Amino acid sequence: MSFTSQTLTGSKPEQYAQLAAQAHALLSGESDRIANAANLSALVYHALPDLNWAGFYFHDGTELVVGPFQGLPACVRIALDKGVCGAAARTRQTQRVEDVDAFPGHIACDSASRSELVVPLVKHDRLVGVLDLDSPRLARFDEEDQRGLEAIAAIYVESLA
């Protein structure tokens, strides 16, 4: 397999369209959740500015367990009633947090993180896990980021067998 990452250009929606095309190419023909999560974490982490963590937590039936990621070592297990990741998993709704210090029950795996976006991963009404992005910048993620990363998460979920 040969894959070439390309620098994103244009408006933010155009950049996310380019990132989605790269994600489709990267995951095409592969259904292994770990391999795809590893490659997608690297793609997103290196393509988007102002991130200090990008990766996956997988639901093991009880809690979230860290999966492939890019960034500093992370919390290994997150209860569904804790933190931004737990809220996304529990509600199955994307959580976009401008200031993590203002989020009740935030788990500070990396003290440098200031804002966070977490997209739940659901396939056939079953919680697979979450895609988690952290930034050292307050209010890093806006509605365009949310839409773009929800599309990336959907590409990941579609890749699963």
How confident is the model at residue 30, as a pLDDT? 96
For residue 115, the one-letter residue type is S
What does the pLDDT profile of the chain (161 residues) look like in tens digits? 567 778 899 999 999 999 999 999 999 999 999 999 999 999 999 999 999 999 999 999 999 999 999 999 999 999 999 999 999 999 999 999 999 989 887 777 778 899 999 999 999 999 999 999 999 999 999 999 999 999 999 999 999 98
Q: Is there a contact between 157 and 131 (Cβ–Cβ < 8 Å)?
A: no
Query: Using one digit for the tens of pLDDT, what is the confidence trace for 101-147?
Result: 898 877 777 788 999 999 999 999 999 999 999 999 999 999 999 99
Q: 111: which residues sit within 8 A by CB, 6+ positions away?
A: none
